[in-house]
Structures are given as C-alpha cells and as structure tokens.
Amino acid sequence: MTVPLRPFRASGDSRAPGGLTTLWPVGIVVIGRACQEIGASFAVVLFPLVGALGMVGLRLGFSAIILLVVCRPKLRGHTGRDWMIVVAYGVVLAGMNMLFYQALDRLPLGTTVTIEVLGPLVLSVVVARRASAWLWAVLAFAGVALLSQGGAGTLDPVGVAFAAGAGALWSGYILLSARAGQRFAQLDGIAIAMTVGAIVSLPFGIVSTGVALFQPTALLLGLAVAVLSSTIPYAFELLALRRLPEATFSILMSLAPAIAALAGLVILGQALSWVEAVAIALVIAASIGAVRSAARFARRPSPVPAEPLP
C-alpha cells in the first residue's frame, strides 16, 4: 500500500462539478484501487518463488526505476531538513510494505487490508479533534474484533501484528507524504522516497531469497506487480484529484477493504463468511464516517494561524 488516505493536493485545482465530469474520476479511482489489489494478489502468487520480502524488493525496485525515469527528480536546491524528511518518508515506505507483505503471507488479502486501514482511520479521527469522532474508531475496532471471530479463530496472530504495524506506518506515511509534497516539486518527493525504500528493502529480499530473486520469471512478474500496484494507481489517482474533492477521494480510498476482499475471492479463491463480510462493512462505514468528520473539521476557520514548516 503506497497511496495516502488523504493526499497532499498541489495548487491549481481544476475540478468541475456535475455529470460525467464527476463520474469519470470516480471510475478511474476505483479502477486504480482494483489494479492495486490485483497487483497484491499476483504478489501472493509469487511468494513461493521469491518470498514476501523478495516481493517487496522487486516491487519497490521497479517502482523506483519507473518513477525516476518518468519524473527525473531535481536533486539540487534542497535543505538538509528536506532530505531528512524524504529519507524518513522512504524508510517508512519500505517498512510499511515489508510489514504488509509479511501479513499477506499469513492472512487473506481482504483481512490484511481491513486491519491495515485502521492506521489511517485513527489518524483521521485524531485530525477531527472531536470526542464524537472516536465513535468511528470504536466501530472500526468492533469490526476487526468481529473479523477475528468470523475467521473461526484461524487468524494468525503474527500476521495480525504485521498488518497492524503496516497500518501504523501508513499513518506516518500520510504525514510524511504531505511534508514531502510541500518541499519537493510535483512527484519528486515520492520518486526519491521510493528509491530510498528500494535501497532499504532490497537487502532483506536478497538475503531471504538469494539468486532466485533475479530469475527472469521473478523479474518479469515483479515488474508486473510494480506497474499494477504503483504506476497505474498513481497515474489514475493524480488525474482524479484534479476533479474530485479531497473528502470524496478519501471516501473512495475507504473502499479498499471491499476491493481487496473481492480481488482475494476472484484471484486467490479466498472466500468470505457472512460474519467476515459484515466485519469489513463495519470498518468501511467507520472509515467513511471518520473521513467525513475530518473534512467537516477542516472546513472550519481556525482562530490559530497555521504553524510554519520548521
């Protein structure tokens, strides 16, 4: 997972209301999310060949190459503080993906994404700064508790811990993404951070997998996962953000557990019980509610001037 729940928006909003102008950006966001979850499903298929950590190295490595070629980020003219932020961004990106894929190796795709989304959901609740917003967090945790019961006690506790850790790092990713977006032009920040993430994750993949990581089949499938999980979602979501309000975009991001569960069912044969389906629906409802609460808070004028960047 490499896309923030509430992304930083650059200046120059060109949104237009109504009709097909609104429908097509919604459609490409959903398609982008579907591609990301299909990529995650293909990654699971690759685990017997390269392992979870090897898959992370391949995905981030190819994603970094694609972003560097397309974006050609500017490396000069940045302060030491800028580089500290973008390097931290890359390290968090690597850790988030390593934990996520380790969880995928132990849990169904829909379950993993449902647990992971708790991180951004709690962040949205904190941003709202309202006690009532914590009701959404309670609803989400109730959904996760129900999910564990729906799995008939088969949820691997280590996998759950990995997914929860990925969710916590996803919150940090969102905050660092906004900071990097303010300090680096266009997609320069994510291109540099992805490169840092690849440098951090590749040694783990090489140690855990060995020379199998560089087999032509593994490289080709790793490239496919990188394109599906990173390139297509980034391109589609950037196009959509020019037309969609941020709150609408975030609500669409909240549908990730449902899309992941569907991808897991169709591609991996990971069927859901009705209890698990209800649990995922609760988490999605809580995520949408938390996003709306945060959006209402963001629209309120603040009596305190914005704090400047350090």
Q: What is the pLDDT of residue 293?
A: 67
Q: In which band, very low, low, confident or very high, does the pLDDT at 121 lie, cut at 50, 70 and 90? A: confident
Q: Which pLDDT band, with edges at 50, 70 and 90, does 201 fall under?
A: very high
pLDDT at 169: 92
Q: CB within 8 A of 79, min separation 6: which ones?
A: none
pLDDT at 102: 94
Cβ–Cβ under 8 Å, residues 123 and 249? no
For 242-297, the pLDDT digits (tens) are 677 766 776 777 788 888 888 888 888 888 778 888 888 888 888 777 767 666 65
**pLDDT attached to residue 6:** 41
Q: Which residue has the higher pLDDT, 128 or 41?
A: 41
Of the given ranges (32-46, 62-76, 158-172, 230-244), which has the lowest mean pLDDT?
230-244
Query: What average pLDDT score do residues 23-50 get?
Result: 86
Looking at the predicted structure, is the pLDDT value of residue 57 above 80? Answer: yes
The predicted model gives 120-134 an average pLDDT of: 71
pLDDT greater than 80 at residue 123: no
pLDDT band at residue 306 using 50, 70 and 90 as cut-offs: very low
Average pLDDT of the chain is 79
Instruction: Grade residue 189 by pLDDT with cuts at 50, 70 and 90.
Output: confident
Specify the pLDDT at position 155. Answer: 78
For residues 261 and 198, the model is more confident at 198
CB 244 within 8 A of CB 25: yes
pLDDT in tens, 64-100: 999 899 888 888 888 888 899 999 999 999 999 999 9
Q: What is the structure's pLDDT at 7?
A: 41
More confident call, 127 vs 75: 75
pLDDT at 193 over 60: yes
For residue 166, is pLDDT > 50?
Answer: yes
Query: Mean of the pLDDT values across residues 113-132?
Result: 76
Q: What global pTM score does this model have? A: 0.79
The alpha-carbon radius of gyration of the chain (Å, integer) is 19
| pLDDT score at 307 | 33
Yes or no: say if 50 and 217 are a contact pair by the CB < 8 Å rule.
no
4/216: higher pLDDT = 216
The mean per-residue pLDDT over the stretch 142-156 comes to: 69
pLDDT confidence of residue 21: 55
Q: Reply yes or no on whether the pLDDT at 308 is more than 60.
A: no
